[in-house]
Amino acid sequence: MRVVWAQLCAHYKNSMSSKIRSQELLRYVHTSQLATANHCGMHQSYITTFAETIHQHQALQTDANKLSSQMCVDFLNNAMRGTTHLEGVLDTCYTARKASGHTNP
């Protein structure tokens, strides 16, 4: 059963449709911004959808091609750019991490 599952996963990750879907997901993550997205829901739902999109993209990648955690954070930061009432959240997070002894953001 595991062999069949591994073969199915390998075929799916190497198929043309999964590569195209992966590119579509990455394009969304790279270009989407809450301030200009015309999003009609709460900010939490936008962020949840954004995180799910990254998760879907990662699921289609081999280990060598997955985005690093820092890249995912950078994409989310870019998506939040221009949302004025959320500007201080990242700064507060970085300040708290430094105060707690973490050297990287």
Cα 66 to Cα 57: distance, rounded to the nearest angstrom: 8
What is the three-class DSSP state of 82?
coil
Share of the chain above pLDDT 90, in %: 26
**pLDDT the model gives residue 10:** 74
User: What is the CA 71 to chain-centroid distance, rounded?
Assistant: 8
105 domain residue, yes or no: no
Q: Which residues constitute the domain of residue 17?
A: 2-99
In 3D space, the residue among 92, 96, 56, 53 whose CA is nearest the CA of residue 75 turns out to be: 53
Burial of 85 (0-12, 13-18, 19+ CB in 10 A): exposed
75 domain residue, yes or no: yes
**pLDDT the model gives residue 57:** 93
Of 33-42, 53-62, 89-98, which range is least confident?
89-98
83 domain residue, yes or no: yes
**pLDDT the model gives residue 51:** 93
What is the average pLDDT value for the chain, to the nearest integer? Answer: 85
Position with higher pLDDT, 62 vs 24: 24
**pLDDT the model gives residue 105:** 58
Whole-prediction pTM = 0.72
70 domain residue, yes or no: yes
Domain count, the chain: 1
Asked if pLDDT for residue 29 goes beyond 90, the answer is yes
Cα 91 to Cα 1: distance, rounded to the nearest angstrom: 48
DSSP-derived secondary structure letter, 10: H
104 domain residue, yes or no: no
CA dihedral sign, ordered 91, 96, 97, 103 = positive
48 domain residue, yes or no: yes
